[in-house]
Amino acid sequence: MRPATHLLGLDTWETEDRVKAELGQPRASVACIGPAGEKLVRFAGIFNDKGHVAATNGPGAVMGSKKLKAIAVSSTTSKINLSDPERLRALARHDWADSASESLLGRSIKAGGTLGGMAALGMSGAFPIKNMTTCDISDYARYNLDDICSLVEMKPRPCWACPWAHCNDVTVKEGRYAGLKAELPEYEDMAAWGPLIGNADPAAAIMLSDLNDRLGMDVKEGGFTVSLAIECYEKGLIGPADTDGLELTWGNVEAIAELLQAIAHRRGFGEVLAEGVMRAAQRIGGEAEHFGVYHKNGIAPHTHDVRPKWATVLRQAVSDMGSGMSLDPQTSLYADIGHDKFSPAYSVEELAAGVAKIGPRHQFGDSLITCFFLLPKELSIMTEAVSLATGWDFTPEEALTVGRRILALQRAFNLRHGLTPDKDDILSSRIAEPPEMGPAQGRTVAPVFAEMKRVYYRHMGWDEETSKPLPETLRALGLEAVARDLWE
């Protein structure tokens, strides 16, 4: 433990550089908070290796509350004892790598990271344009991989040992932000600082993404909180006297940059927005409560217009992590668990059953602590890797049990700490509004959402009313003590 008073106020990139320099360990990894974490902004994140972020649920504010500015970790030369290192290495280099490259997600990520699918998402009605007040994408044609890449010089900076050139450092080549050095934003950042706030210029979105990262804030909650403020300003609920003179109009990126500084430092109107989208809407009051986009105890969704994707609304609402806990059965295929065709849109039973089927597989993949994008298509390759690493005879069925156990434990933990099933119901008015155009024009999940939730609970082996994992479910997962705790 070392004093960090001299690091107070530094942004996440500056903190990382200073900590490495002070330790004399340029190859250390540093996880740190920026000004937002120090000021306990509710959506402050923990940032590491310049651009990697753990942000949902405000873990940066937890570090800030403990006055913990940074954690530095250095690699060692300790040997990891593996059961069969040669075969594990061969599996990783061939079967695993080949399969990951061929998956739907892998093909897209390899081709251009999460920006690779951005144009298609826009066409499918997924851009959350102007706080989801419109579905008109005509101003956002430049939000596609080719146009974004043409604005910058790129230098690959993938994660350690990653064979894919996904993460890149960029320098903006021309225009107002020429010379700006940043990490190439992911889809979520470009959507948040582009269409969501009515900004048609991708270079300005790169500037805002970089600033938000350096200040140390979650892009999802930050984006939807700023877009809420702009809509409130447009509709006269707040004015310059409330915003410390900032003109919060759609696409006014310089004002938004100042607003991000105010939020991170909890200055003036930033103090209101530092509470996140639901609480900010409540503080502003009146119609603002209808403009806020959030679910699940007030957490903003991913920066998509989720209204055409009913399964995505469900999986984000019932996720015990507060964010999406698996991929969407409408757009993902996993033949080895029987999900071999896309679930039809607007089918309550099939979408909810699909979320319940994919969730455990996804949780198992996450528990391996490899990159989610690099997971192979076949579950059997993952379980073979576990067997070769540990010497166990580990099967796909056991892997799915592990996934179900994780989900049951998360739910039991949260129920014990105050989660009630009605919190799974929270869909803000804007999410419940039918889109004005696009594939889901005139449709809304709201009337069937309670039923979708019940179907999901049933398929998980949870009580349909309380969402408690049933005693027999818990016992089958080896969680006898949890069954006693929840039910006796």
Question: If you search the block for the tokens 């593996």, which residue do you land on?
Answer: 82
Cα–Cα distance for residue pair 255/230, rounded to 1 Å:
11
**Minimal distance in Å, beta carbon 106 to ligand SF4?**
9
Question: If you search the block for the tokens 């989801």, which residue do you land on?
Answer: 132
Contact 486, 479 (CB under 8 A): no
Of residues 200 and 371, the one with the C-beta less far from ligand SF4: 371
Contact 20, 30 (CB under 8 A): yes
Question: Which residues 348-387 are close enough to bind ligand SF4 by CB under 6 A?
Answer: 371, 373-374
**Minimal distance in Å, beta carbon 367 to ligand SF4?**
16
CA dihedral 130, 133, 138, 139 (to 10 degrees): -20
Question: Which residues 442-461 are close enough to bind ligand SF4 by CB under 6 A?
Answer: none
Q: Which residues of 219-231 are buried (b: 16+ CB within 10 A; e: fewer)?
A: bbbbbbbbbbbbb
Total residues in contact with ligand SF4, by rule CB under 6 A: 10
Question: Which residues 289-318 are close enough to bind ligand SF4 by CB under 6 A?
Answer: none
Cα–Cα distance for residue pair 179/169, rounded to 1 Å:
12
Grouping H, G, I as helix, E, B as strand and the rest as coil, residue 162 is coil
Of residues 92 and 109, the one with the C-beta less far from ligand SF4: 109
Q: DSSP string spanning 369-421?
A: TS-GGG--S-HHHHHHHHHHHH-----HHHHHHHHHHHHHHHHHHHHHTT--H
Element holding 46 (H helix, E strand): strand 46-48
Residue 344 CB coordination number (10 Å) = 11
Of residues 111 and 178, the one with the C-beta less far from ligand SF4: 111
Q: Looking at the chain, how many residues does it have?
A: 488
Of residues 159 and 476, the one with the C-beta less far from ligand SF4: 159
Q: Looking at 13, 47, 164, 224, which residue binds ligand SF4 (CB under 6 A)? A: 164
162 touches ligand SF4 (CB under 6 A) = yes
46-48 and 70-73 strand pairing: unpaired
Q: Looking at 72, 159, 448, 476, which residue binds ligand SF4 (CB under 6 A)? A: 159
**Minimal distance in Å, beta carbon 170 to ligand SF4?**
14
Q: Looking at 166, 357, 361, 377, which residue binds ligand SF4 (CB under 6 A)? A: 166
Grouping H, G, I as helix, E, B as strand and the rest as coil, residue 53 is strand
Of residues 334 and 373, the one with the C-beta less far from ligand SF4: 373
Contacting residues for 369 by C-beta, under 8 A, at least 6 apart = none
Stretch that binds ligand SF4, among 162-170, 199-207, 279-287, 351-359 (CB under 6 A): 162-170
Of residues 169 and 398, the one with the C-beta less far from ligand SF4: 169
Of residues 72 and 371, the one with the C-beta less far from ligand SF4: 371
Contact 100, 378 (CB under 8 A): no
Of residues 109 and 238, the one with the C-beta less far from ligand SF4: 109
Question: Which residues 104-143 are close enough to bind ligand SF4 by CB under 6 A?
Answer: 109
Q: Looking at 71, 87, 142, 158, which residue binds ligand SF4 (CB under 6 A)? A: 158
Of residues 139 and 186, the one with the C-beta less far from ligand SF4: 186
Question: Which residues 222-251 are close enough to bind ligand SF4 by CB under 6 A?
Answer: none
The residues facing 168 across adjacent strands are: 156
Of residues 118 and 348, the one with the C-beta less far from ligand SF4: 118
Cα–Cα distance for residue pair 134/132, rounded to 1 Å:
6
Contact 290, 280 (CB under 8 A): no
**Minimal distance in Å, beta carbon 485 to ligand SF4?**
37
88 touches ligand SF4 (CB under 6 A) = no
Q: Looking at 33, 167, 277, 419, which residue binds ligand SF4 (CB under 6 A)? A: 167
In angstroms, how far is the first alpha carbon of the chain from the final one? 43
**Minimal distance in Å, beta carbon 371 to ligand SF4?**
3
82 touches ligand SF4 (CB under 6 A) = no
Binding site for ligand SF4 (CB under 6 A): 109, 158-159, 162, 164, 166-167, 371, 373-374
